[in-house]
Copies of this chain bind each other. A is one copy, B any other.
Amino acid sequence: MSQQRVKECGHLLKDQGIPFTVQRRLVLEGVLSLKNHPTADQVYREVVSRIPGLSRATVYRTLETFARLGVITKLDHAGRAVRFDGRVDGHHHLICVRCDSVFDLSDQRLDDLPRPDTSAMGFEVTELRVQARGVCRACRDSRPSDESI
Q: Please list the residues of chain A having a beta carbon within 8 angstroms of any beta carbon in chain B.
A: 68, 74-78, 80, 82, 92, 94-97, 103, 105, 107, 109-110, 113-118, 121-137, 140, 149
Given known contacts A68-B149, A107-B116, A131 and B128 CB-to-CB distance under 8 angstroms: yes
Q: CA A103 – CA B76 in complex, angstroms?
A: 15
In contact, B132 and A125 (Cβ under 8 angstroms): yes
Please list 15 pairs of residues, one from A and one from B, whose beta carbons are closer than 8 Å in the complex, sorted by A's number: A75-B78, A76-B131, A118-B132, A121-B136, A122-B140, A123-B134, A123-B135, A123-B136, A125-B133, A126-B133, A128-B130, A128-B132, A129-B130, A130-B131, A131-B131
Contact of A125 among B77, B114, B117, B134 (CB under 8 A): B134
Top 6 A-B pairs, shortest CB-CB distance: A122-B137, A125-B134, A74-B78, A107-B116, A126-B134, A127-B133
Contacts of A77 in B (CB 8 A): 76-78
Secondary structure type dominating chain A contacts: mixed
How far does the Cβ of A137 sit from chain B's closest Cβ, in whole Å? Answer: 3
Question: Is B128 a contact partner of A135 (Cβ separation < 8 A)?
Answer: no
Decide: A82 and B78 in contact? CB cutoff 8 A.
yes
A124 to chain B, nearest CB (A): 5
